[in-house]
Amino acid sequence: MCGIMGYVGPREAAPIVVDGLRRLEYRGYDSAGIAVHDGTALTVTKTEGKLARLAGLLDEHPVAGRSGIGHTRWATHGAPSDRNAHPHTDPGGEVVVVHNGIIENFLSLRETLAAAGAEFASETDTEVLAHLIALEYDGDLLEAVRRAVGMAEGAYALVAMCRQEPGRMVAVRMISPLVVGIGDGEMFLASDVPAILHHTRDIVVIDNGEIVDITADGWKIEKLDGTPVERDRLEITWDAEQAERGGYPHFMLKEIFEQANATTETLSGRLLEDGRVVLEDVHFPPGFVAGLDKIWITACGTAYHAGLVGKELFERLLRIPTEVGYAHELRYSDPIIQGTTLTLAISQSGETADTLAAAGLAKERGSRLLALTNVVGSTLSRESTDVLYTRAGPEIAVASTKAYLTMLVGEYLLALAIGRERGVLDPAIDATLVAGLRGIPAKIGEALAAEEQAVVLAGRFAGRDDVYFIGRGLDHAVAVEGSLKMKEISYVHSEAMPAGELKHGTLALVTEGTPVVVVITQGDVYDKTVSAIQEVKARGAFVLAVAYEDDEQVAKHADEVLRIPRVPDVLSPLVSIIPLQLLAYHVAAARGHDIDQPRNLAKSVTVE
């Protein structure tokens, strides 16, 4: 996820573009840049770091010009650095491009260009687009962009300008969002409405597979095949602050609703049409996977809970003994780790001090270190031998949601990759995983429909002091994360445990009306979980079950059921967590809490 901004009109472009980027910084903030056209030349100014650094550079060296494009970056290809910052140009500086998303076939495009003698100034996929557009250019930017994107595959949005046609911008949307703002003799273009809202409320939304040609006087939309498109304008009525959250009252809710897209991004270019799995930054040496005798997962908080799902998967599917350890405990322990161990360090930020320390210990003991992280160029990613980026985009709310879900997706991809290389993955399971993962973004979309019911149920939970979460196997791993979500934002005490553990003590706390949330999706232990429901019901508990839409049994036992779409049991965590996130969110909202910044907590815990 990155932010794109463009302006063409009678005013100076640079301040307008930088201001728009400031309002898009929630989409990425590891580097920023602009390109401005002064009628004869294009000038690019860009830098690693937050937008304030770019603004400082522009104060020192102002650039004049009436059309410009800009970008605030959340790295996916190439670490955050000056040279990887956008905009990117072709070697002659004729074409300039900013881009949000991923060009999946960029490596093959780059190799073809390199074989023809092209030299690249960055490691990004975007620069390839600038080369292609420049090569295709014969006096008409629109046609050059159309031909170039015809060669690119992926989910992205891009905007291009060229030296020879001042005052013109051409943009394409392939999944990643793009809106045009219509001013009075001026036009704007952005990834999202907040960037342009204080200039105009008159918006045109660009759809997938469309190309838009923009000058100060107007815009023209076509499909990529050249078919003209008529599109109605929208009048935006949100205020600027609401708009930054996409109209959602909190970033947490926005991020919950971004999970289908985030999952698509995480899978993009990794689970290929033919079923192959390509993990671009994971390069195990020959023989390593065959000789692997242990996977050691280390993380904290929500990332640790993602690790609990990983343990279930790796042991069940790969038959590799897997341990999950809190990083703050492991860093002071004496773990049994060696060259035949794969350490999987999971961290959204890639900066959690305890996780870095535990990962460092694993490396010292000779383990190969694989980072599963959301932040390209983070300390964890730099210190690891292999990296799997989750591509969830920046997560602003302290309570992690989309980062967690994409960590799980990363673990499924890893299970497929390792299982195939070891030759241990049952072909039927392999096929189930591939088909199931492909369909998971749509299933996540369906699971989000639980929100309406979560709002109503939240009323029942909001006045309680304690909530219990139970489940078995994968359901237990999800219950633990559901419980953390509940406590960290609603401040209602909650505890999670395997369903079979209740009777060994905690059952003493269950009395009339005690809320117990039961995740019940695993067919092989279904009846056992029903027994646990009966145990708590017999003590007067109010039971809320999270179960498949076609589970006709569960309503006989539970008081309420939050339904999730049917998926193969092995993939259920990818959907069963969603109603729990929504429930926690609405309980916190009902209690009137500061949901995005809960008390006493910080997004990144960079101290011990």
For residue 137, the SS3 value is coil
604 binds ligand F6R (CB under 6 A): yes
What CA–CA distance (Å, rounded) separates 360 from 377?
17
| One residue of 259, 343, 347, 494 binding ligand F6R per CB under 6 A | 347
| One residue of 303, 369, 418, 478 binding ligand F6R per CB under 6 A | 303
Q: Determine contact, residues 58/276, Cβ cutoff 8 Å.
A: no
> In terms of CB distance, is 392 or 447 closer to ligand F6R?
392
What CA–CA distance (Å, rounded) separates 319 from 300?
24
* Residue in 486, 489, 493 with CA at minimum distance from that of residue 464: 493
Residue type, 3: G
Which range binds ligand F6R by CB under 6 A, 108-116, 138-146, 341-349, 544-552? 341-349
Query: Minimum CB separation from ligand F6R for residue 355, in Å?
Result: 5
| Ranges within 113-172 binding ligand F6R (CB under 6 A) | none
* Residue in 64, 50, 61 with CA at minimum distance from that of residue 21: 50
Residue type, 473: G
Query: Minimum CB separation from ligand F6R for residue 271, in Å?
Result: 23
Looking up tokens 């011990």 gives 608
The reply to whether 556 belongs to the active site is no
Starting from the edge strand earliest in sequence, which strands make up the sheet with 234-235, in order? Answer: 42-48, 31-37, 67-73, 3-8, 187-190, 179-182, 202-205, 234-235
301 binds ligand F6R (CB under 6 A): yes
Query: Minimum CB separation from ligand F6R for residue 312, in Å?
Result: 19
Query: Minimum CB separation from ligand F6R for residue 392, in Å?
Result: 11
Angle between helix 141-151 and helix 126-136 axes, rounded to 10 deg:
130
Query: Minimum CB separation from ligand F6R for residue 399, in Å?
Result: 4
Residue of minimal Cβ distance to ligand F6R: 301
Q: Give the other-Cβ count within 10 Å of 308's Cβ.
A: 20
> In terms of CB distance, is 4 or 484 closer to ligand F6R?
484
Query: Minimum CB separation from ligand F6R for residue 152, in Å?
Result: 32
Which range binds ligand F6R by CB under 6 A, 245-253, 347-355, 511-519, 525-533? 347-355
> What is the rounded (10 degree) CA torsion for 494, 499, 503, 504?
-80
What CA–CA distance (Å, rounded) separates 468 from 460?
14
Structure tokens that stand for 429 in this block: 């399971």
Query: Minimum CB separation from ligand F6R for residue 476, in Å?
Result: 18
Which range binds ligand F6R by CB under 6 A, 54-62, 160-168, 299-307, 330-338? 299-307
> In terms of CB distance, is 357 or 462 closer to ligand F6R?
357
Question: H-helix or E-strand containing 248?
Answer: none
Residue type, 75: A
How many helices and strands in the chain, by DSSP H and E? Answer: 19, 25
> In terms of CB distance, is 37 or 305 closer to ligand F6R?
305
| Ranges within 91-110 binding ligand F6R (CB under 6 A) | none
> Cα-flanking dihedrals φ and ψ of residue 536, to 5°?
-80, -35
> In terms of CB distance, is 229 or 605 closer to ligand F6R?
605
Query: Minimum CB separation from ligand F6R for residue 400, in Å?
Result: 3
Rg (CA), the chain: 25
For residue 313, the SS3 value is helix
Q: Find the catalytic residue in 2, 162, 254, 443.
A: 2
Which range binds ligand F6R by CB under 6 A, 274-282, 288-296, 300-308, 466-474? 300-308
605 binds ligand F6R (CB under 6 A): yes
| One residue of 300, 330, 405, 444 binding ligand F6R per CB under 6 A | 300
What CA–CA distance (Å, rounded) separates 404 from 577?
10
* Residue in 399, 305, 349, 303 with CA at minimum distance from that of residue 593: 399
| Ranges within 449-468 binding ligand F6R (CB under 6 A) | none
> Cα-flanking dihedrals φ and ψ of residue 476, to 5°?
-65, -45
The reply to whether 162 belongs to the active site is no
What CA–CA distance (Å, rounded) separates 195 from 385?
38
For residue 459, the SS3 value is helix
Report DSSP state, residue 401: S
Q: Determine contact, residues 299/348, Cβ cutoff 8 Å.
A: no
| One residue of 126, 259, 349, 483 binding ligand F6R per CB under 6 A | 349
| One residue of 261, 348, 406, 572 binding ligand F6R per CB under 6 A | 348
| Ranges within 517-536 binding ligand F6R (CB under 6 A) | none
Q: Find the catalytic residue in 223, 487, 537, 603.
A: 603
Region for 149 from its dihedrals, namely left if φ exceeds 0, alpha if ψ lies in -120 to 50, beta otherwise: alpha
Which range binds ligand F6R by CB under 6 A, 219-227, 343-351, 446-454, 502-510? 343-351
Which range binds ligand F6R by CB under 6 A, 174-182, 190-198, 244-252, 344-352? 344-352
What CA–CA distance (Å, rounded) separates 365 from 342?
11
55 binds ligand F6R (CB under 6 A): no
Which range binds ligand F6R by CB under 6 A, 237-245, 335-343, 346-354, 554-562? 346-354
Structure tokens that stand for 195 in this block: 């960037």
Which range binds ligand F6R by CB under 6 A, 142-150, 226-234, 272-280, 342-350? 342-350
Query: Minimum CB separation from ligand F6R for residue 356, in Å?
Result: 9
What CA–CA distance (Å, rounded) separates 248 from 234?
18
The interface mask with ligand F6R, positions 479-498, x = CB under 6 A, is -----x---x----------
What CA–CA distance (Å, rounded) separates 44 from 46?
7
The interface mask with ligand F6R, positions 378-417, x = CB under 6 A, is ---------------------xx-----------------
User: How many residues interact with ligand F6R (rule CB under 6 A)?
Assistant: 15
Q: In terms of DSSP bridges, do strands 341-347 and 560-564 run parallel, antiparallel, or are they unpaired?
A: unpaired
> In terms of CB distance, is 217 or 329 closer to ligand F6R?
329
Site of interaction with ligand F6R (CB under 6 A)? 300-303, 347-349, 352, 355, 399-400, 484, 488, 604-605
Residues designated catalytic = 2, 603
